[in-house]
Amino acid sequence: MAKIIAGIGTSHVPAIGAAVDNGKTREPYWQPLFDKFEPARHWIEEVKPDVCIIVYNDHAHAFDLSSIAAFSIGTCENFKSSDEGYGPRPIPDVEGDPRLAWHLVESLVMDDFDITIVNDMTVDHGLTVPLSIMYDQPDAWPCQVIPLAVNVVQYPQPKGTRCHALGKAIRKAVESYDRNIKVAIFGTGGLSHQLQGERAGVINEEFDEQFLDDLAANPDKVAQISHAEWLRETGSEGIEAVMWLIMRGALDDEVEEVYRFTHCPASNTNYGMTILQNNS
Amino acid sequence: MEREQREFDDIPGTYVFDGQRNRQGYHLNMFCKSLDSEANREQFRTDPEAYLQKFPMTEEQRSAVLERDFLGMLDLGGNIYYTWKIAAFDRVSMQAAGAAMSGTGMTEQEFREMMINGGRPIKGNRYVGKED
């Protein structure tokens, strides 16, 4: 039977991907952040998940305003990097796991989550930056990936309680899969940042630290945060962190926080990472 | 366009992309989306006014695009991930765009320094006209 071994929370700042792609990771601005990735990279090399379910949002690359789905699963064999205006990132193609992806779709729909099925899509920095953070620059990604895209760009975004419940349903789906594989789940985006308007650049480190504490120990509290509170406290783009609740829902009630840090700034963002491990 | 008030409208300097802004800015945003294709970027580069005529936008929205008025575009229904495509087209940095949207005459370098010093403080930036 398949098993979820851990959850990884990470921001997906595009400039981190650009720093990797352009050989800037040893520059003074970036080195302190990349040094802090090292323990996470060692950890994932040890635990070696076979499949990573990456919960992220597309930023108007694969999808646009013509049709906006709350939760989408990519069922493709293969995903190419989106062209975000500078050409596609020079990274390996992302290999999917269509058999498990379809199993997730079937199980989730039977569990009352009406997932959108995507058979043709590219993946943007929301998904590929977390891969670069955890795996650096391999010739091929060492895991298969299932993209789970969430609408966090168009208000109203899915609620925290719904994201948390979806995570629980994902766990049930993975545990009913007939292959003996190790699955990791990523929650990405956040932490506090605002890219738009006169308030661009707003950061709320206190809120972010409380969020990380509560995500590990008291996720039901995080799930109760309202849209207005997310937007007000973490910035208009900080609401992305609601996606971390999907990751958290897929884990045990009691988890071990094996690694965590924040780093401000990464571009316009308070970067955050947490690794939560199931010990059951 | 007159907005129906929402509970997040008292957040200062923040244009939450809700249904009202989607309706207002749909064609502006879809023009931005069209810049994903190199062929379209080439047309926009060659004759920006003519290219903008292909989209049923308001004249105000067209002018905001031509003037690269990033704050004005938000006010006219633009979404940052869409209007960002114009900044990428111009090879403008996120910090330069952030500085321009601040509306205070802040420079790109000043915006960078603000971020390095911990960002724009949340304190005093939670509510319009109210201490927090």
Q: Which domains does chain A have, with CATH numbers?
A: 3-277 (3.40.830.10)
Least Cα separation, residue B44 to chain A (angstroms): 14
Distance CA A52, CA A6 (A): 10
CB B101 within 8 A of CB A196: yes
Number of inter-chain CB pairs under 8 A, A vs B: 140
Show pLDDT as tens, one digit a residue, over chain B (132 residues): 689 999 999 999 999 999 999 999 999 999 999 999 999 999 999 999 999 999 999 999 999 999 999 999 999 999 999 999 999 999 999 999 999 999 999 999 999 999 999 999 999 999 998 877
Report the candidate in A89, A53, A90, A49 with the shortest Cα–Cα distance to residue A74: A53
| Whether the Cβ atoms of residue A164 and residue A249 lie closer than 8 Å to each other | yes
The pLDDT value recorded for residue A279 is: 84
Establish whether A125 is a catalytic residue: yes
Spatial separation of the C-alpha atoms in residues B17 and B82, rounded to whole Å: 11
B68 to each of A196, B4, B60, how far by Cα in Å? 14, 27, 12
- Residues from chain A that touch B94, judged by Cβ atoms under 8 A, are 15, 195, 267-268
B119–A59 CB contact, under 8 Å? no
- The chain-wide mean pLDDT, for chain A, equals 97
Q: Is the Cβ pair B94, A198 closer than 8 Å?
A: no
Among the options A12, A59, A103, A125, which is catalytic?
A125
Q: A55 and A246 in contact (C-beta within 8 Å)?
A: yes
Beta bridge partners, A116, equal A72
Interface with chain B: mutation pick from A157, A196, A226, A232, highest number of B CBs within 10 Å:
A196
Task: Tell me, yes or no, if A195 comes closer than 8 A to chain B by beta carbon.
Answer: yes
Q: CB–CB of A195 and B80 under 8 A?
A: yes
3-class secondary-structure state, position B92: coil
Q: What percent of chain A has pLDDT over 90?
A: 98
Contact A242, A158 (CB under 8 A): yes
Question: Would you put residue A274 in left (φ > 0), alpha (ψ -120 to 50) or beta?
Answer: beta
Contact A268 B22 (CB under 8 A): no
Q: How far apart are CA A129 and CA A15, in angstroms?
A: 9
Rounded to a whole number of angstroms, the distance from the CA of B49 to the nearest CA of chain A is 21
**CA A30 from centre of chain:** 21
Contacts of B14 in chain A (CB under 8 A): 194, 196-197, 199, 231, 235-236
What 3-state class would DSSP assign to A112? coil
**Do B98 and A232 count as a contact with CB atoms less than 8 A apart?**
no
CB contact under 8 Å between A200 and B79, yes or no, is no
A279, HSE (Cβ side, Cα atoms, 13 Å): 7
Residue among A64, A155, A268 whose CB faces B16 most closely: A155
The alpha carbon of residue A215 and the mean position of all alpha carbons in its chain are separated, in whole angstroms, by: 14
pLDDT at A218: 97
* Long-range contacts from B59-66, C-beta under 8 angstroms, 24+ separation: B61/B25, B61/B27, B61/B28, B65/B28, B65/B31
**Which of B85, B102, B3 has the alpha carbon at shortest distance from A194?**
B102
* Separation in Å, CA A57 to CA A75, A158, A237, B85: 16, 12, 11, 17
Residues A158-191 as b/e (b if ≥16 CB within 10 A, e otherwise) read bbbebbbbbbebbbebbeebeeebbbbbbbbbbb
Tokens of A214: 């509560």
DSSP H or E run through A57: none
Helix (H, G, I), strand (E, B) or coil at A81: strand
The alpha carbon of residue B88 is apart from the nearest alpha carbon of chain A, in Å, by: 6
Active site residue A193: yes
Residues 6+ apart with CB under 8 A from A245: A160, A163, A164, A167, A187, A215, A219, A222, A223
Which of A11, A24, A86, A199 is most worth mutating to test chain B (most B CB atoms within 10 A of its CB)?
A199
Q: Which amino acid is at A88?
A: P
The nearest CA of chain A is from the CA of B80 a distance in Å of 6
Count other C-beta atoms under 10 Å from residue A11's C-beta.
27
Q: Which domains does chain B have, with CATH numbers?
A: 19-91 (1.10.700.10), 93-132 (no CATH)
Q: pLDDT, tens digit, for every residue of A231-254? A: 999 999 999 999 999 999 999 999
Residue numbers in A near B16 (CB within 8 A): 155, 231, 236
Q: What is the pLDDT of residue A22?
A: 97
User: The complex's ipTM?
Assistant: 0.96
Contacts of B17 in chain A (CB under 8 A): 153-155, 236
Bridge partners, A53 (sequence order): A146, A185
Model pLDDT for residues A6-45, shown as the tens digit of each residue: 999 999 999 999 999 999 999 999 999 999 999 999 999 9
CA B24 from centre of chain = 13
Question: What are the tens digits of pLDDT across the range A42-98?
Answer: 999 999 999 999 999 999 999 999 999 999 999 999 999 999 998 999 999 999 999
pLDDT tens profile A210-226: 999 999 999 999 999 99
* Distance of residue A237 Cα from the nearest chain B Cα, in angstroms: 10
Query: Tokens representing B62?
Result: 């067209």
| The model scores a pTM over 0.90 | yes
Exposure string over B105-119, b if 16+ CB within 10 A, otherwise e: ebebeebbebbeeeb
A59-A64-A65-A70 Cα dihedral, nearest 10 degrees: -70
Give the nearest partner residue to A200 out of B36, B79, B101, using CB atoms: B101
Residue A65, both tokens = 């305003």
